[in-house]
C-alpha cells in the first residue's frame, strides 16, 4: 500500500510538469508555491517578479561595476582557455597521429633490448666456456699437426669428434665452419695415405694404411681395392721408369727382378688385406679385380719383352733373360701367375730374328769381300797334324784351307758367329726353320758365285782361283757349316746335307769348266796328312797346290792371327 501511495504523487507531478513548461524538477518548489497562492496573489506575482528582476539586475550591475576587473579577467581567461583548448586539441590530434609510431618504436626498442640481452647472455656463456671453445677452434690446427707428424690415429680421433659435434649441432655456424676446416685437413690426410701406398712399404704398413682409409670412410670396399691396386701399380711404374732403357739387357733384367719381387709382394698384400668371402655382403667380393690387374701387369711385361728382345744382339744375353723370366714365372706361380707358357713364342721370334740377321750379315760380308777380292795366289797354310781322337772328331774349328779364300773365310766367320749366338738359346721347335735359314744363306752364297762367274770376265789364272774357291765352298765351307749346325741341334747336319741338291749349279760349273784338270785336288780332311819336317809353308802357284798335303786340324791361335778367323771353342748341343 505504501508503495502505491508514493507512486500516486509522482504521477501527478509528472502530469503537472507536462502541462506547465516551467514545471521542471529544479523549478518544482516554485511551482508548488504558486499553486498554493490565491488568485489575487497570483495577479500580483508578475509585478513582484518584475521588481525582483529589477532588483537583481541592479545588484548584478553593482556587482559588475564593483567586480568589473574580475569579469574582464574572467573573460580574458575564458578567451585564453578557449585558445589553449584549441591548441590542446591540435596537439592531441598530432599526439594521436604519433601514437602508432611511438608504439612501433617501443616495440623495436623491446626487440633490440631482447637481442642485446641475448647477446649479453651469449657473451656471458662465451666467457664462461672460453677455454673449451678455444680448444675446439684449435682442433683443425692440431689435426693438421698430427697429419704432418704422422700421428694418424690422433688425427682420425679428432675428425670423428668433430663429426659427432656437427651431427649434434647441425645449425651452429661455428661447428659447421669447424667441420669444413677439418674436412679439408682430412683430404690432406687422405692424400698422404695414398702417397704412402705409392712407396715401398711392407704388409704391416699396408694394413695400417688401409685401416686408416676405412676409418675415414671416403671409399667403399670395392673403391678401396681399386685405389690400393692403382697406387701399387703407380709405385711399380715408377720403379720401371727409373731404369735405363738405353741398355736393353740391363733394362729387361731390372724389369724382371721388379716383377718377380714386387708383383709377388703386392698380390700377397692384397690377399692378406682384403677378404673374398662371398657368403656375406657383396662388398667383400672383388669380381676378379686382382686377377684382372695381375694379368694386365703380366701382359704389359710380355709386351715390353716383345719390344725389347729384338734389341738384344747376343745369344748369351737372350739366354740369361730367358732364364730370369722362367725363374720369375716360377716364383709367381706360387700366387697363380705362372706365365712360362707365354714366353716361348717371344724368345723364339727374337732368336729367329737374331739368327737370320747374323746369317744375312755373313752373306752380305761375303758379297762385299768377293766383289773387292783380287785374284792372286795366296800361300798355303800348314800346321802339325793331330792324332785322330774323339776330341778331334768333335772339333768344329774352321779348316785352315779357308784362309786361302778370304771371301769364304769371311762367310764362315759370320756363320760361326751366328752359331755361337744361337748355341746358348737354340729352341728345338725352330730346328727346321733355322736349317732353312742356313740353307738360304748358303744358297745366297752359291747364287752370288754363279752370278759373279756370269758377270765377270776372268783371266785363266783368275778363273782357276775362282773355281778353286767354288770347290772349297762345296767341299769345305758347306760341310763345315753343316757340322756347326749339327753341334747346335742333334741331327741338324743331316738337314743341311739333305739340301745339297740346291748347289748343283756350282757342281755343274766345276764339272764343265775347261780348266778342270788344272784345279787342285779336292781337300781331304782325313787322317794321314802331315807337313814337311821343318813346317815350311807351300805356295800355291797358278791355283795348283803341290803334293804336300794340308793337315786336318790346326792351331786356332795361328788361324786367328793369319786370317782373323776367331777360334771356336768346343760346342755342345743346345738345351731344349
**Spatial contact of 558 and 398, defined as CB atoms under 8 Å apart:** no
Q: Which residues contact 270 (CB under 8 A, 6 or more apart)?
A: 225, 228, 229, 290
Q: Which residues contact 381 (CB under 8 A, 6 or more apart)?
A: 400, 401, 403, 404, 537, 550, 554, 558, 559, 562
pLDDT band at 150 (very low <50, low <70, confident <90, very high): confident
pLDDT band at 117 (very low <50, low <70, confident <90, very high): very high
pTM: 0.60
Chain mean position to CA 198? 10
DSSP single-letter state for residue 129: T
User: Which is nearest to 422 in space by CA: 408, 433, 409?
Assistant: 433
Query: Which grid cell is 131?
Result: 677455454
Tell me what pLDDT residue 112 has: 92
Query: What end-to-end distance do the CA atoms of the chain give, in Å?
Result: 158
Long-range contacts of 298-306 (CB under 8 A, 24+ apart): 298/337, 298/339, 298/342, 301/255, 301/256, 301/259, 302/339, 302/342, 302/343, 302/346, 304/252, 304/255, 305/252, 305/343, 305/346, 306/346, 306/349
Q: Which helix (H) or strand (E) holds 86?
A: helix 68-128
**Bigger pLDDT: 553 or 146?**
146
Over the stretch 404-455, which tens digit does the pLDDT of each residue have?
888 888 888 988 888 888 888 888 888 888 888 888 888 888 888 888 888 8
pLDDT band at 26 (very low <50, low <70, confident <90, very high): confident
User: Which is nearest to 328 in space by CA: 255, 231, 424?
Assistant: 255
Query: Across residues 258-284, what is the average pLDDT?
Result: 74
Of the ranges 15-19, 39-43, 537-541, which one carries the lowest mean pLDDT score? 537-541
Over the stretch 466-514, which tens digit does the pLDDT of each residue have?
888 888 888 888 888 888 888 888 887 888 877 777 666 677 777 776 5
pLDDT band at 2 (very low <50, low <70, confident <90, very high): very low
**Spatial contact of 385 and 529, defined as CB atoms under 8 Å apart:** yes
Tell me what pLDDT residue 539 has: 32
Over the stretch 326-363, which tens digit does the pLDDT of each residue have?
999 998 888 888 888 888 888 888 888 888 899 899 88
Burial category of 154 from C-beta neighbours within 10 Å (exposed 0-12, middle 13-18, buried 19 and up): middle
Tell me what pLDDT residue 478 has: 83
Amino acid at each position: 500500500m505504501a508503495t502505491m501511495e508514493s507512486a500516486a504523487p509522482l504521477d501527478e507531478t509528472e502530469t503537472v510538469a507536462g502541462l506547465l513548461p516551467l514545471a521542471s524538477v529544479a523549478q518544482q518548489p516554485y511551482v508548488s508555491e504558486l499553486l498554493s497562492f490565491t488568485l489575487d496573489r497570483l495577479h500580483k506575482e508578475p509585478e513582484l517578479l518584475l521588481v525582483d528582476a529589477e532588483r537583481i539586475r541592479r545588484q548584478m550591475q553593482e556587482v559588475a561595476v564593483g567586480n568589473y576587473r574580475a569579469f574582464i579577467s574572467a573573460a580574458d581567461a575564458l578567451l585564453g582557455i578557449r585558445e589553449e583548448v584549441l591548441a590542446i586539441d591540435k596537439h592531441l590530434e598530432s599526439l594521436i597521429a604519433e601514437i602508432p609510431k611511438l608504439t612501433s618504436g617501443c616495440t623495436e626498442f623491446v626487440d633490440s633490448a631482447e637481442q642485446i640481452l641475448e647477446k649479453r647472455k651469449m657473451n656471458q656463456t662465451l666467457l664462461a666456456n672460453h677455454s673449451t671453445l678455444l680448444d675446439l677452434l684449435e682442433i683443425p690446427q692440431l689435426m693438421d699437426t698430427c697429419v704432418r707428424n704422422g700421428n694418424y690415429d690422433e688425427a682420425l680421433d679428432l675428425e670423428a669428434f668433430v663429426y659427432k659435434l656437427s651431427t649434434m649441432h647441425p645449425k651452429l655456424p661455428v661447428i659447421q665452419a669447424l667441420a669444413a676446416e677439418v674436412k679439408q685437413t682430412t683430404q690432406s690426410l687422405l692424400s698422404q695415405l695414398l702417397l704412402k701406398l705409392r712407396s715401398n712399404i711392407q704388409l704391416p704398413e699396408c694394413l695400417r694404411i688401409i685401416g686408416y682409409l676405412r676409418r675415414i670412410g671416403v671409399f667403399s670396399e670395392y673403391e678401396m681395392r681399386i685405389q690400393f691396386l692403382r697406387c701399387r701399380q703407380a709405385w711399380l711404374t715408377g720403379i720401371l721408369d727409373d731404369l735405363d732403357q738405353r741398355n736393353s739387357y740391363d733394362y729387361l733384367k731390372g724389369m724382371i727382378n721388379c716383377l718377380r719381387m714386387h708383383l709377388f709382394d703386392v698380390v700377397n698384400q692384397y690377399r692378406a688385406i682384403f677378404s673374398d668371402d662371398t657368403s656375406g655382403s657383396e662388398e667383400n667380393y672383388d669380381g676378379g679385380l686382382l686377377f684382372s690387374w695381375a694379368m694386365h701387369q703380366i701382359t704389359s711385361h710380355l709386351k715390353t719383352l716383345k719390344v725389347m728382345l729384338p734389341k738384344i744382339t747376343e745369344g748369351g744375353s737372350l739366354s740369361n733373360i730367358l732364364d730370369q723370366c722362367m725363374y720369375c714365372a716360377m716364383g709367381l706361380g706360387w700366387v697363380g701367375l705362372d706365365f712360362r707358357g707365354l714366353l716361348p713364342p717371344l724368345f723364339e721370334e727374337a732368336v729367329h730374328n737374331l739368327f737370320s740377321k747374323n746369317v744375312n750379315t755373313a752373306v752380305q760380308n761375303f758379297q762385299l769381300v768377293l766383289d773387292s777380292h783380287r785374284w792372286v795366289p795366296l800361300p798355303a797354310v800348314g800346321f802339325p797334324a793331330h792324332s785322330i781322337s774323339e776330341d778331334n772328331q768333335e772339333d768344329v774349328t774352321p779348316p785352315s784351307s779357308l784362309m786361302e779364300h778370304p771371301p769364304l773365310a769371311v762367310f764362315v766367320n759370320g756363320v760361326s758367329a751366328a752359331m755361337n749366338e744361337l748355341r746358348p738359346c737354340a729352341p728345338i721347335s725352330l730346328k727346321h726353320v733355322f736349317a732353312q735359314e742356313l740353307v738360304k744363306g748358303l744358297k745366297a752364297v752359291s747364287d752370288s758365285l754363279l752370278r759373279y762367274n756370269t758377270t765377270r770376265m776372268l783371266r785363266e789364272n783368275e778363273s782357276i782361283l775362282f773355281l778353286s774357291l767354288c770347290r772349297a765352298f762345296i767341299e769345305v765351307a758347306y760341310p763345315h757349316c753343316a757340322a756347326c749346325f749339327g753341334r747346335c741341334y742333334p741331327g741338324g747336319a743331316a738337314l743341311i746335307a739333305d739340301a745339297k741338291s740346291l748347289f748343283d749349279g756350282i757342281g755343274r760349273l766345276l764339272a764343265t769348266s775347261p780348266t778342270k784338270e788344272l784345279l787342285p785336288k779336292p781337300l781331304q780332311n782325313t787322317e794321314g796328312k802331315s807337313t814337311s819336317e821343318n813346317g815350311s809353308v807351300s805356295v800355291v802357284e797358278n791355283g795348283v797346290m803341290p803334293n804336300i798335303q794340308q793337315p786336318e786340324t790346326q792351331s786356332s791361335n795361328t788361324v786367328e792371327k793369319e786370317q782373323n778367323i776367331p777360334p771356336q771353342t768346343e760346342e755342345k748341343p743346345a738345351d731344349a
